[in-house]
Structure 1
Amino acid sequence: MPGSQPLPAGPAAPDSTVPDAEWLRVHPASPFIRGWVALAAIGFFFGRDIFERTLQGRPVFEDGFAGRAPFLLAGGGTVLLIAVLGFILTWYFTKYQVSGGYVRVNTGFLFRQQRQARLDRVQAIDIVQPLLARIFGLAELKFEVADAGESAVRLAYLKMDDARQLRATILARAAGVTTGVEGPGEPAPEAPEYPVLSVPPSRLVGSLLLSEQSFFVMVGGVASVILSAVTENQAFYLYLIPAGLGLAATYWNLFNKGYNFTAAISPDGIRLRYGLLDTQAQTLPPGRIQALRIAQPPLWRPLGWYRMQVNVAGYGLVDNAGEGTSRTTLLPVGKLGDVMNMLALVLPDPGTQQPAAVFGAGLTGLDSDGGFVTTPRRARLLAPLGWRRNGFTATDTALLLRSGRWWRELVVVPHQRTQSMALHQGPLARRFRVADLVLHTTAGPVTPRLTQAGVDEVRVLFDEQSARARRARKRQTTEQWLRQVAPPVEPGSETSSVDAPTKEGPQHG
């Protein structure tokens, strides 16, 4: 179980069963890359006068400034020395270790802290490279752990090769691979990967221009022009300035995070890479995704584009808006074939003999297409446009929830990821004998909810889904995902991981 235990000042408290030699340090440049803003602020504060005088062509030492200059230089030098000393101490007292089924990180000089995470609870591992770290060939490693409210462990910064090697080792330990290396402390080889898809920059730009934000800003612009013409008041144009600035910032953030998006499959999970200035490489082990949503805004429909987002235990909702959105995006924009390929990675066993028909009906179907049970006709007044779309169906491995006539959505929840359920029914819904079913999973952008289902049908679904979830959890006998998808590797065997998939990748249909 991940945890964070503040330790009192004094000697470090590493695991006594592990030799001190196995505790490693991050790269010496790490504190300077993290704290470059502080160094720049110190330089600006103490050197501003000199900089301004130099730009203005004025003598540096005049008007009594010569008397203050030594004090400014001494003060700036002292503060800079303290900051650098603090950076060095921070680096010296930061150690990490992968041993005994845990990854541990010790930090702090005066106030010490040890953070640890169980390897079999690792949900995802990210390699993050901010622009400055990329220049120096360094990367940050993030470990997302089940039930963690934030990143359980962050290692910043390591050499890029070391970060990849450590990620491979931790994923191997989390997967249950113990053979093929000489000892528990030996590094594991990085698993090969096979490309599945990539998003062209032109499609990403097109998806931003046809996004919901663009539509509402365009409507606001038209309304401002009409109001300005009718009232002869030009002030309405001023309202477009903050909207335009906000839209530009949103566009840049989404473009920067979604640029060069690629997806690949490997024995250690789904690998996602993206980013223009700040790059990020995510690895999602199989079976760790709790819920998935496929959405299609109205303006994307003529082009056949879709967006996919997921809930992953550990990610939660604590990240900042830009980072949280990018990390929970499985596909920023893609065609139907891309969607089916990504679905095959998330749900290798669709639980039906006709996955293309069932999932296709979830994306574009109406009424009972694909075996979906929809809102009864008696309740069509509650959803005049969506009652033929709102519905559900279940395969042997997942529950599918369909909704939306204009903003189409399909939510997929693997049976074993259903933590609990609740039935909701308001006074108007009682009048039409319908109810909503809410499935509770880990926090994230996906909220599985079946809307306006018939009372009799939703009660049957409630009981059947409870039974399906119990059976699925009984079949999942270990947290180590490799042991769930392949027979255990016997000691001495030549194979130390599951067989790599074909280059085409798994596909539905």
Structure 2
Amino acid sequence: MSQLRSTGPAAEPGPGHLYRAPREWTRVHPVSPFLGIWPLLGAILFYLVVSRAPDWVGGGSEDGVTDAINATHLSYFVIGAILLGIIAIVALFGYLGWRFNQYRIGDDAVYQRKGVLFRQQRQARLDRLQAVDVVQPFVARLVGFGVIRIEVAGGENSGIALEYLRIGDAEALRNEILELAAGYKRRGGPSRDSHATDKPLVADAVVGDAGPSSQAVSSLGGVQGDNLVLGSLHGAAAHDRTDRPAAVERPVYAVPNGRLIGSIALSWPTFWLVLTPVWIVVLMVIFRVDVQRVFLAIVGTSLVTAVPVVVGLLGFFWTQLNRGFGFKAGISQDGIRLRHGLLETRRQTVPPGRVQAVRLRQSWWWRKAGWWDVSINVAGYQNDQDAVSTLLPVGSRAEALEAVWLVLPDLGLVGEDGTDPSAPIAEAMESLRAADGFLTSPRRARALDLFQWRQRGVRATDSALIIRSGRFVREVSITPHARTQSLELRQGPLQRTLGLASVEVHSTNGPVKPVAKHLAVADAVALLDAQAERAREGRKHQSPEQWMKAVGLDAR
């Protein structure tokens, strides 16, 4: 695999705004209440459309909302006054929420205090940092604002979300959090943390004009011009920059949007959607079902009712497109940098030490093109796994192997020639049978797993457990021994009759569910005992510095 190299000095940017992470108590941006009120405005607009639209849209019926208003002799002026009153009340609560929502960063934690009636003060300790993401919802993105989400180890709601900051403020805070979490000290002078005051500032107060910045050289010796200048981000000027530059980053791969759209078109949901006319004909001819009556009973004659039905049917396609649009991956000392999103954009940094398991998957429709997707389980994300679990939405076999290398550079694998560490994974991805070093299901498993019992297999290396399965949808899951949470041996009544058992490797919440199914009982018991011992040994020797050294970074 390629190594990260110094990019060399870059040209200094011209004058612009300098964004700093606040060491004093600072409020989020004053526009935050307005960015949070847009769902209410959308609901009011929806009401107006429905109440004034013709019957086929869903409004204007004899017993509709408009007739109810006329029956009570309320004028539209009164209705408007009521709506404005509701908006004013919501705006008041939004203002109070903003007034008492403050944050600051220290050398060891990020602090937040908020609440009007019930005050809360929270801290996200940097030594327990799991991830820092900058998220831009669609409306916030239009005006140059974002949300910074700080995830730390702990239970639910243990992280901090700051809504909303200017994109420059969010990037500056993110850069400093990642730098402090990595153990680096502030350049020059004592920490400002000891001089923090209780007087809150507004986030924009730390933005000012500044001259050309000095060269910010990372431990690799390169200047990060791409992240130092924020002009590429929506809402930032050409020469805006942050006080603390981001770590040097090397791009690894990017997913063309054309390939993403093609992968969505070549998917099982698309296949079943294309077959919809066939199912309709079958229902009409064989079962003599009045499809039109059923359709009208479900959707009715209202466009307002039909739209959610259509959105629900097309939800899969929109989710895949929105999640993978503009997908880019890079590598830095902070970890893997991922950028993606169509309407809601997300820039996340995934420390490889937080990746608990990896899954490579290939649909039957993708085999001719040789495409794979790669998903991961990331520790620290409680209820947001769907947004952060994609490491590669669609890519070639080489890109999939490189994606695995990003998070698991040392799998303890050696190819037949002793030089290619990815060869065993490639065999698991491409071979029709999971043999050649894999522990496979016995022939009697065919009674329970007719179509893919030949493809099931499990193999342990010095550092990871690899599980392969799938005939129509191939899957290869990889769980580092050091990330094994617990193990479980399961045996259902039919398995007991056939002398079979399954071994499940418990990971954190996420899409990857490593299970070695339908093994012989003796093989399953041996695998369980051996994997428990490998997990104990792996936890003794694993450290983040091993990842940094393996991918060519300078661990300090």
User: Shorter-normalised TM-score: what interval?
Assistant: 0.7 to 0.9
Q: Match for 1:423 among 473, 489, 499? A: 489
| Contact in 2 for aligned 1:143/1:151 (Cα 8 Å) | no
1:114 maps to a residue whose letter is: Q
Paired residues of 2:356 and 2:379 also in contact (CA < 8 A): yes
In the alignment, the residues of structure 1 paired with residue 287 and residue 492 of structure 2 have an alpha-carbon distance, to the nearest angstrom, of 44
How many Å apart are 1:391 and its aligned residue?
0.9
8 A Cα contact 1:228 1:236, kept in partner: no
CA contact (8 A) 2:23 2:106 kept: no
Is 2:417 the partner of 1:362? Answer: no
Q: Does residue 472 of structure 1 match 2:533?
A: no
| CA shift in 2, pair 1:291/1:43, >3 Å | closer
| CA 1:107–1:438: 2 relative to 1, 3 Å | same
Change (3 A) 1:21 1:244: closer
Per the alignment, in what secondary structure is the counterpart of residue 461 of structure 1? Answer: helix
Could you tell me how far apart the structure 2 residues matched to 1:425 and 1:137 are?
55
**Could you tell me whether the CA contact under 8 Å between 1:225 and 1:236 is conserved in 2?**
no
How far did 1:160 drift? 1.0
The match for 1:196 is: 252
Structure 2 residue 554 is matched with structure 1 residue 499: yes
Change over 3 Å in CA distance of 1:194–1:181 after alignment to 2: farther
The 1:458/1:249 distance shift into structure 2, 3 A limit, reads closer
Q: Does 1:346 align with 2:407?
A: yes
Per-residue deviation, 1:67:
10
Matching residue of 1:308: 374
* Residue number in structure 2 paired with 1:276: 342
Mean alpha-carbon deviation: is it higher for 173-182 or for 238-247? 238-247
What's the CA shift for 1:395? 1.6
Q: Distance in 2 between matches of 1:356 and 1:21?
A: 46
Backbone CA RMSD of aligned residues = 3.5
Cα distance 1:44–1:422, how it changes in 2: closer, same or farther (>3 A)? closer
Cα 1:109/1:292, change in 2 over 3 Å: same
Q: Give 3-state SS (helix, strand or coil) of 1:103's partner.
A: strand
Structure 1 residue matching 2:367: 3-state secondary structure: helix
| Residue among 360, 367, 388 paired with 1:327 | 388
Q: Residue 210 of structure 2 aligns with which residue?
A: none
1:424-463 maps to which residues of 2 (within 5 A)? 424-463=490-529
Name the CA shift for 1:191/1:377 in 2 (closer, same or farther; >3 Å).
same
Structure 1 distance, partners of 2:310, 2:74, is: 49
Structure 1 residues 299 and 233, CA gap change in structure 2 (3 angstroms): same
Of residues 70-79 and 282-291 in structure 1, the stretch that sits farther from structure 2 once superposed is 70-79
Query: 1:268: how far off?
Result: 0.6
Q: Which residue of 2 aligns with 1:32?
A: 34
Aligned to 1:10: none
1:50-61 aligned at under 5 Å gives the runs none
Match 1:123 to one of 130, 137, 140: 130
Q: In 2 relative to 1, CA 83–205 (structure 1 residues): closer, same or farther, beyond 3 Å?
A: same
Structure 2 residue matching 1:302: 3-state secondary structure: coil
Compare 176-185 and 204-213 and name the one that shifted more: 176-185
2:261 counterpart residue number? 205
Q: How many residues align?
A: 455
List alignment gaps of at least 5 residues for structure 2.
Answer: 1-21, 55-69, 194-242, 300-305, 416-420
Name the CA distance, whole Å, in 1 between partners of 2:166 and 2:86. Answer: 29
Distance 1:188 1:41, change over 3 A: same
- Specify the SS of the correspondent of 2:422: helix
Deviation per CA, 1:210-262, whole angstroms, max 9, x where unpaired? 21212223344312223324566551696698886533233123212221111
**Cα deviation digits, residues 356-396 of structure 1 (max 9, x gap):** 22101221224454521111234333323322211111122
Aligned to 1:60: none
Is the Cα contact below 8 Å between 2:333 and 2:548 reproduced in 1? Answer: no
TM-score w.r.t. the length of structure 2 is: 0.73
Moved more, 414-423 or 83-92: 83-92
12, 23, 26: which is aligned to 2:25? 23
Report how far residue 342 of structure 1 moved. Answer: 0.3
For the 8 Å contact 2:335–2:349, the answer to whether it is kept is yes
Deviates more, 1:115-124 or 1:300-309: 115-124
- Is the aligned partner of 1:411 residue 2:413? no
Cα deviation per residue 1:324-359 (whole Å; 9 max; x = unaligned)? 434211111111011011011010112122222210
**SS at 2:270's partner residue?**
helix
- Is the Cα contact below 8 Å between 1:150 and 1:315 reproduced in 2? no
Rate the CA distance shift 1:375–1:180 in 2: closer, same or farther, 3 A: farther
Q: Aligned match of 1:152 in 144, 147, 159? A: 159
Residues 67, 127 of structure 1: alpha-carbon distance in 2 compared, 3 angstrom cutoff:
closer
Say if 1:410 and 1:49 are closer, same or farther in 2 by CA, change over 3 A: closer
Contact 1:294–1:306 (CA under 8 A) maintained in structure 2: yes
% identical equivalent positions: 41
**1:107 match:** 114
In structure 1, the residue corresponding to 2:400 is in which secondary structure?
A: helix
1:193 deviation in Å?
1.2
Q: Is the 8 A contact 1:46 1:72 kept in 2?
A: no
Query: Does the CA contact (< 8 Å) of 2:409 and 2:547 recur in 1?
Result: no
SS of the residue 1:351 aligns to:
coil
From 177, 184, 188, the equivalent of 1:177 is 184
Given residue 554 of structure 2, which amino acid in structure 1 is its aligned partner? D
Task: Supply the distance in 1 between the matched residues of 2:126 and 2:532 (Cα, whole angstroms).
Answer: 29
Aligned counterparts of 1:258 and 1:426: Cα–Cα separation in 2: 39
Q: What are the Cα deviations for residues 66-112 of structure 1, in whole angstroms up to 9, with x where unaligned?
A: 99788667656655444333322221211112225222211111221
- Checking the alignment, whether the CA contact within 8 Å between 2:23 and 2:104 is kept in structure 1 is no
* TM score, norm. by length of structure 1: 0.80
The amino acid across from 1:431 in the alignment is T
Change (3 A) 1:467 1:200: same
Structure 1 contact 297–406 (Cα < 8 Å) conserved: yes
Given the superposition, is the C-alpha separation of residues 461 and 167 from structure 1 closer, same or farther in structure 2, using an over 3 Å criterion? same
Distance 2:369 2:49 in 1: 55
Q: Quick one: structure 1 residues 21 and 89, their matched pair in 2 at CA, closer, same or farther if it must change by over 3 Å?
A: farther
Please state how far the C-alpha of 1:37 moved relative to its aligned partner: 2.9
Within 2, Cα distance between the matches of 1:287 and 1:237? 56
